[in-house]
Structure 1
Amino acid sequence: MSHHQHTRCDNYYWMRDDERNNPEVIAHLEAENRYCDAMLKQHQDLEDAIFTELKDRIVKDDSTVPVKDGAYWYHSEISGDDEFARYFRAEDAHGLNKQLLIDTNALAEQHEYYDLGEFSISPNDRLMSYSEDTDSRRIYTIRFKDLVTDTLLEDVLEHTEGQAVWANDNQTVFYVKKDLKTLLGYQVYRHVLGTAQADDVLVFEEHDASFFMGLGKSRDESLIMLDLESTETSDTWVLDANNAQGQFTQLCPRSHGHEYDADKLGDTYYIVTNWQAKNFRLMTAHQSVIGDQSKWQEMIGHRDDIMLECVELFDKYKVVTEREAGQLKFIVYREDGTHYPLEFNDPCYFAGLGENPEPSATCARLYYSSLTTPGSLLEFDFATGEQAVLKQQQVLGDFDAGRYQSERLFIEARDGAQVPVSLVYRKDSFKKDGTNPLFQYGYGAYGITIDASFSSNALSLLDRGFVYAIAHVRGSEMLGRDWYEQGKKAHKQNTFSDFIDVTQALVAQGYGHADQVFASGGSAGGLLMGAVVNQAPQLYKGIGCHVPFLDVLTTMLDESIPLTTNEYDEWGNPNELDAYNTILAYSPYDNISAQDYPNILVTTGFHDSQVQYWEPMKWVAKMREMKTDSNLLVFKTDMDAGHGGASGRFKSLRERALEMAFFISLLKQ
């Protein structure tokens, strides 16, 4: 493959099979699976024990707290050894006249893989749409059910993104159709119930393949909103939900680099925008002038040290989500402009507004979790700010939150940047003397921030003496927009350097044993793992690399691969020489060399539509050819799954148990 007068030779390109029916490829993957099982067989008892631990911490019979949406209260239940939930509605919060809406277990029964996408209730509460993916390619089929007669309608919408948004006439829905080659949603269709999909009307088409497309409704349900998002640009179109036969109109002119999120309540739009505001600001506009940005009014201004993430609209209150010094904060604004913050005690935590479908509510729900606090559904009173715990995740067994300690550190990277790190460990087994095994996790891409939240699965490591660390490396938005921009495109090396520098510092400060450091990441975090083991393999005893993006240069040069063009603003377009050289310098597949590597466990899904299976397959083959050590390199492919791994609450635990057993077994070597 030659580009920019530079030639690469890929000896394993034959492993790519877009149709996924090449017998030689399938045989090779199956052989890798058998090899993985054989090499790890001696640790099968440990894996089984960990799987039992993970499963036994989960409450088998559980339900969500009912939430009111319109005339009904909605909740879900899961029971016994069921993999999936059942969804219900009732006439009050106590379950009066409870009605089963969806039994996901019954829908999944005939499929090796099943994902229930979204379900949506018509404005008159009589009809329901729901979407399902049975191939793990994130291509959804939408079906419809009459909730009064409890019968399925004949309407079936195929090859969709999974969203069906109801017009207010209760007979018309809008949905996004996918390009089956690129797997991007690019067309919006109008469907009238009782008609064939072939008769649906195309009402919008996006020709720029760098944009994702999503549909929803405004907060006041007066508009159907079409959101187009690329990595660096937003574009929103709206349609009067009371005029299903109308046309979508653009909210404001598309401008490259302008990212915004708009919502509407009453006559006012609320816009979170980076227009002249790198860390975003909140603006308002009357519906009559929304298309003229010069008429927008500033409600919350830009701040260099605070990232404004989003706003939730209520009739008399607005709840703003911000991030300061890496930590989420929530500010409640009253009608008169006064405001107050919600307070939490943990040094690092994750929180986010829960389901709050009623704008007229006087209380709001918030999900809260920390490294030592199981997930909790809180409700706070707008008038007083007082919080109540509606429900907390129950962890079965002998779990006691008081046994664990969390910390927030800042590690100085090689260029002087201060990298946030979230840590948790068990108090009675931790000594800050470099004797504990260390597990370090990272992601670092797309501006996605991995906040410090509770994981009952992590207890199996903590109770065996591990220190668990999350490195909030550049490429996330942990420290604002600039933190993201310093970890993308030409600056991507910062992501890898930060992770390596955090590892070295944690060992130097006594948080981990120099010879017992383990790391793991998935997808873009798998790219992080691939780059780290090329650049600093001596630091790690074992690596978990899951659905990993490893062949970056080849993939980003191939526009026939799903999602490639959409990624140019994240990784750079290697058709340009500078971007080509930047990616070439770190692309894990291109930088494997003849050196010792750690023990490595690689996993993927054969039907992955985001990172194709052949990327880890090729990487493993080339790694076997090049590496100079005798450490374990095992590769497992779920032949039924995609990017999200196995479906179901217990099946997915097998994947976690596999990795943990892999790491724990290495402690004895």
Structure 2
Amino acid sequence: MKAAILLATTILMTLPATTSIAADATPPDAEKRPHVVKAPHGAQRNDEYYWLRDDKREDKAMLAYLEAENAYASQVMAPLKPIEDKLYDEIVGRIKQDDSSIPARERGWWYYARFEAGKDYPIHARRKDGPGVDALSIQQANERGDFAGEEVLLDVNALAEGKDYYSVGAYEVSQDNNLLAWADDTNGRRQYTFRFRDLATGKVYPEEIRGTSGDLVFADDNRTVFYVENDPETLLTKRVKRHVIGTDPKEDAVVYEEEDDSFYMGVDRTRDDRYLVIAVSSTVSDELRYAPAADPSEFTVLAKRERDLEYSADHLGDRWIILTNADGAKNFKLVEAPAGSTSRKDWKDIVAHDEDVFLENFEVFDGFIALAQRSDALERVRILRKDGKDEYVKADEPAYSMGISTNTEHDTTKLRYTYTSLTTPATTYELDTATGERRLLKRQPVIGYDPTQYVTERVWATARDGERIPVSLVYRKGFEKNGAAAMLQYAYGSYGMSMDPGFSVTTVSLLDRGMVYALAHIRGGQEMGRRWYDDGKLLNKINTFTDFIDVTDFLVKEGYAAKDRVAAYGGSAGGLLMGAVSNMAPDRYRVILSQVPFVDVVTTMLDPSIPLTTNEYDEWGNPEEKQYYDYIVQYSPYDNLKPQAYPAMFVGTGLWDSQVQYWEPAKYVARLRDVDTGKGPLVLRTNMEAGHGGKSGRFRRYREQSEMFAFMLDQLGVK
């Protein structure tokens, strides 16, 4: 009987693709207006849809066009509403609605966030430490609905009431535990406003500090804070200011101002709370300043910036611990320097450079150092003990993600780390490094999900230049590699950001319909070390796109998917990937899902007034230089649209996006409509109230994803 059911299911899942969307809808036709974009070296490009850009988001013609596209998208998608609703119900049905985070202890209090059933936003709270109080006991109390002794810091549901968009970016508590500072964003543009409250009396201070990055740190006097102010035009992090709570922000003094717009900045405390730090970073360079937290009147540079010198540092006891690529350590090495050091001559190796092992991150404890590293496209956590011995935290699956979790205290033998895979929900363990005992603190609850019914594997695809590209796969048990299945392939491939295999409650709905999900670890990420990143940026960027296409060809050839049932998915810089592969190999993909896509690379990188542009010259190249202009224009998706049959495409954006401006996908869709000779539908969905991350709230984004997945399933013929 089981075999008969499986056979019937296989037949159902592999029916030829049919389109259920509305065929009689007429797409908007954007007006063309002549406009020439010029480069300093004389190159010129015509951009007939440049007029869709409006920095203030007020132009009536532009807004009318976006609304017309939204109306068209709704008309096209109307027949698929039952599918969208079913997907949404499935996804939300897997989520434990009254869940809470793992409490973390800091200065005598346990901090955590919890959700209430049916509500979109978290409640940030804390409980006083005491006998019998620990992370597990607080979680158990939260499970029972026992909130006795809880102090609510922020009820984000109340703060968000009546707002189309609301997000708390961060909050900080003073060293004496009595004052709260929090940053919020009301339109998704990531421009945060700081507010302050006395936790003992409930008094909210009258001042508001607007136009910040959301980064703030308290000094030891518990009244002085340091925060990062953004440039009002470019929105880049520009200066660090000092504020005394209860005073007028107009009087805040500038502590540090960054003149180079290719650098970002942030503020923090060192591990031992001894210093406040100002960290500035570009793509290829770092610089850290520190000042005593008890008297932060003057900041000292730890190591002066040099091009191609990257480092991050933390302080504990009598030394700095520094992760750096100095002295040719391309995959980074770990060094130490004495307190008060300001010269690289003092740096001494703790972990030497290894060409096969990429060091990513570290956390310092009194008795050991936890080191996050990767090799063969897999993450590992390594424990370095004071006696020179080391050991690795174990993993049990062929493809997984592992990393250092939140560890708020350094005077402990216990390390929290996270583990997940494409089949294993997010899990946090606590490892006692003294005894070897491992304790499960929390596994993401997924209602109705049985991990034993799914299979994950790691395969290697050969790229056209001979490189081996790692690919993580997941599918439901019973899947057959017969070349008939539908597949969704995802990748990112930029900024050295590694896309490691992690569990997703949304993907399960695809697997249960017989689909394969493939995560391609292409160049431009850092899964295989720093060389992997270098081979996918600047004048090597096209490798990112060809890697993705070559992975598709490999998986089809190996029987994981039918050649006419492949969907591709990417967002932001991954949307650039989607635009490039649909230009280069449109016949490989039945449908493209592109969210907040960076598709007008040349025009954006020629305009330093746009947020992110100056900081990313070392990622894409500066097209004001002809060498980079000529290379970028070869792959920029907007510039390479041409008459050919494109895949069906779902494009999403946010009007208030500060990372990838809404006009890039809007222009891209308008021009694509002019040249596409294919029969597949093309829809643009603009979120008029949100930015780069989509709508706020934990459930709203699943509604957006359900609509996009309904579009994909229809095009792939998945029933």
When the two structures are superposed, what TM-score results if normalisation uses the length of structure 1? 0.98
Residue 52 of structure 2 is matched in structure 1 by: 15
Give the distance between the partners of 1:41 and 1:5, measured in 2 at CA.
48
In terms of mean alpha carbon deviation, does 659-668 or 181-190 score higher?
A: 659-668
Give the distance between the partners of 1:264 and 1:667, measured in 2 at CA.
53
Residue 316 of structure 2 is matched in structure 1 by: 265
Which letter maps to 1:579? Y
Give the distance between the partners of 1:387 and 1:524, measured in 2 at CA.
38
Residue 391 of structure 2 is matched in structure 1 by: 340
Give the distance between the partners of 2:347 and 2:701, measured in 1 at CA.
47
Do residues 219 (structure 1) and 271 (structure 2) align? yes
Give the distance between the partners of 1:380 and 1:619, measured in 2 at CA.
50
Partner residue of 1:455 out of 500, 504, 509: 504
Residue 605 of structure 1 is matched in structure 2 by: 654
Which letter maps to 1:542? V
Residue 103 of structure 2 is matched in structure 1 by: 66
Task: State the Cα distance separating 1:7 from its structure 2 match.
Answer: 2.3
Task: State the Cα distance separating 1:194 from its structure 2 match.
Answer: 1.5
Residue 215 of structure 2 is matched in structure 1 by: 163
Which secondary structure state, in structure 2, belongs to the residue aligned with residue 154 of structure 1?
Answer: coil
Residue 521 of structure 1 is matched in structure 2 by: 570
Which letter maps to 1:50? L
Which secondary structure state, in structure 1, belongs to the residue aligned with residue 714 of structure 2?
Answer: helix
Residue 413 of structure 1 is matched in structure 2 by: 463
Residue 327 of structure 1 is matched in structure 2 by: 378
Higher RCO structure (Cα 8 Å, ≥6 apart): 2
* Alpha carbons 1:448, 1:477 under 8 Å: kept: yes
1:447-471 CA-partner distances (Å, limit 9, x unpaired): 0001000011100100001100001
Do residues 502 (structure 1) and 539 (structure 2) align? no
Task: State the Cα distance separating 1:110 from its structure 2 match.
Answer: 2.4
Residue 36 of structure 1 is matched in structure 2 by: 73
Task: State the Cα distance separating 1:155 from its structure 2 match.
Answer: 2.8
- Counting only pairs closer than 5 Å after superposition, residues 189-588 of structure 1 correspond to structure 2 as 189-244=241-296, 246-276=297-327, 277-288=329-340, 290-397=341-448, 399-428=449-478, 430-588=479-637
Which secondary structure state, in structure 1, belongs to the residue aligned with residue 629 of structure 2?
Answer: helix
Residue 595 of structure 1 is matched in structure 2 by: 644
Do residues 2 (structure 1) and 52 (structure 2) align? no
Task: State the Cα distance separating 1:87 from its structure 2 match.
Answer: 1.1
Residue 87 of structure 1 is matched in structure 2 by: 124
- Counting only pairs closer than 5 Å after superposition, residues 22-171 of structure 1 correspond to structure 2 as 22-92=59-129, 93=134, 94=137, 97-171=149-223
Residue 185 of structure 1 is matched in structure 2 by: 237
Which secondary structure state, in structure 2, belongs to the residue aligned with residue 232 of structure 1?
Answer: coil
Which secondary structure state, in structure 1, belongs to the residue aligned with residue 536 of structure 2?
Answer: coil
* Alpha carbons 2:302, 2:343 under 8 Å: kept: no
1:390-420 CA-partner distances (Å, limit 9, x unpaired): 11111112x1101100011111100000111
Task: State the Cα distance separating 1:365 from its structure 2 match.
Answer: 1.1
Task: State the Cα distance separating 1:134 from its structure 2 match.
Answer: 0.4
1:242-276 CA-partner distances (Å, limit 9, x unpaired): 003x1222111111110000100011000000002
* Alpha carbons 1:172, 1:193 under 8 Å: kept: yes
In terms of mean alpha carbon deviation, does 290-299 or 546-555 score higher?
A: 290-299
Task: State the Cα distance separating 1:496 from its structure 2 match.
Answer: 0.1
Give the distance between the partners of 1:660 and 1:528, measured in 2 at CA.
19
Give the distance between the partners of 1:372 and 1:581, measured in 2 at CA.
43
Task: State the Cα distance separating 1:294 from its structure 2 match.
Answer: 1.4
Task: State the Cα distance separating 1:5 from its structure 2 match.
Answer: 3.5
Give the distance between the partners of 1:387 and 1:371, measured in 2 at CA.
22
Which letter maps to 1:133? D
Give the distance between the partners of 2:417 and 2:483, measured in 1 at CA.
38
Which secondary structure state, in structure 2, belongs to the residue aligned with residue 368 of structure 1?
Answer: strand
Which letter maps to 2:185? D
* Alpha carbons 1:138, 1:161 under 8 Å: kept: yes
Give the distance between the partners of 2:287 and 2:460, measured in 1 at CA.
37
Give the distance between the partners of 2:712 and 2:583, measured in 1 at CA.
19
Which secondary structure state, in structure 1, belongs to the residue aligned with residue 499 of structure 2?
Answer: coil
* Alpha carbons 2:566, 2:716 under 8 Å: kept: no
* Alpha carbons 1:128, 1:145 under 8 Å: kept: yes
Which secondary structure state, in structure 2, belongs to the residue aligned with residue 58 of structure 1?
Answer: coil
Which secondary structure state, in structure 2, belongs to the residue aligned with residue 305 of structure 1?
Answer: coil
List runs of 5+ in structure 1 lacking aligned partners. none
Give the distance between the partners of 1:485 and 1:208, measured in 2 at CA.
23
Give the distance between the partners of 2:637 and 2:442, measured in 1 at CA.
44
Which secondary structure state, in structure 2, belongs to the residue aligned with residue 82 of structure 1?
Answer: coil
* Aligned-CA RMSD value: 1.0
Which secondary structure state, in structure 2, belongs to the residue aligned with residue 654 of structure 1?
Answer: helix
Which secondary structure state, in structure 2, belongs to the residue aligned with residue 623 of structure 1?
Answer: helix
Which secondary structure state, in structure 1, belongs to the residue aligned with residue 207 of structure 2?
Answer: strand
Which secondary structure state, in structure 1, belongs to the residue aligned with residue 545 of structure 2?
Answer: helix
List runs of 5+ in structure 2 lacking aligned partners. 1-36, 139-147
Give the distance between the partners of 1:456 and 1:559, measured in 2 at CA.
39
* Alpha carbons 1:342, 1:385 under 8 Å: kept: no
Give the distance between the partners of 1:424 and 1:62, measured in 2 at CA.
26
% identical aligned pairs: 45
Task: State the Cα distance separating 1:386 from its structure 2 match.
Answer: 2.9
Give the distance between the partners of 1:256 and 1:385, measured in 2 at CA.
42
Which secondary structure state, in structure 2, belongs to the residue aligned with residue 356 of structure 1?
Answer: coil
Task: State the Cα distance separating 1:570 from its structure 2 match.
Answer: 0.2
Give the distance between the partners of 2:75 and 2:200, measured in 1 at CA.
54
1:3-54 CA-partner distances (Å, limit 9, x unpaired): 3343211111111111100000000000000000101111111001101111
Give the distance between the partners of 1:583 and 1:657, measured in 2 at CA.
34
In terms of mean alpha carbon deviation, does 632-641 or 344-353 score higher?
A: 344-353
* Alpha carbons 2:381, 2:404 under 8 Å: kept: no
Give the distance between the partners of 1:508 and 1:156, measured in 2 at CA.
59
* Alpha carbons 2:167, 2:186 under 8 Å: kept: yes
Task: State the Cα distance separating 1:60 from its structure 2 match.
Answer: 1.0
Which secondary structure state, in structure 1, belongs to the residue aligned with residue 313 of structure 2?
Answer: strand
* Alpha carbons 1:212, 1:228 under 8 Å: kept: yes
Which secondary structure state, in structure 1, belongs to the residue aligned with residue 46 of structure 2?
Answer: coil
Do residues 626 (structure 1) and 675 (structure 2) align? yes
* Alpha carbons 2:380, 2:403 under 8 Å: kept: no
Which letter maps to 1:270? I
Give the distance between the partners of 1:385 and 1:583, measured in 2 at CA.
52
Give the distance between the partners of 2:38 and 2:124, measured in 1 at CA.
54
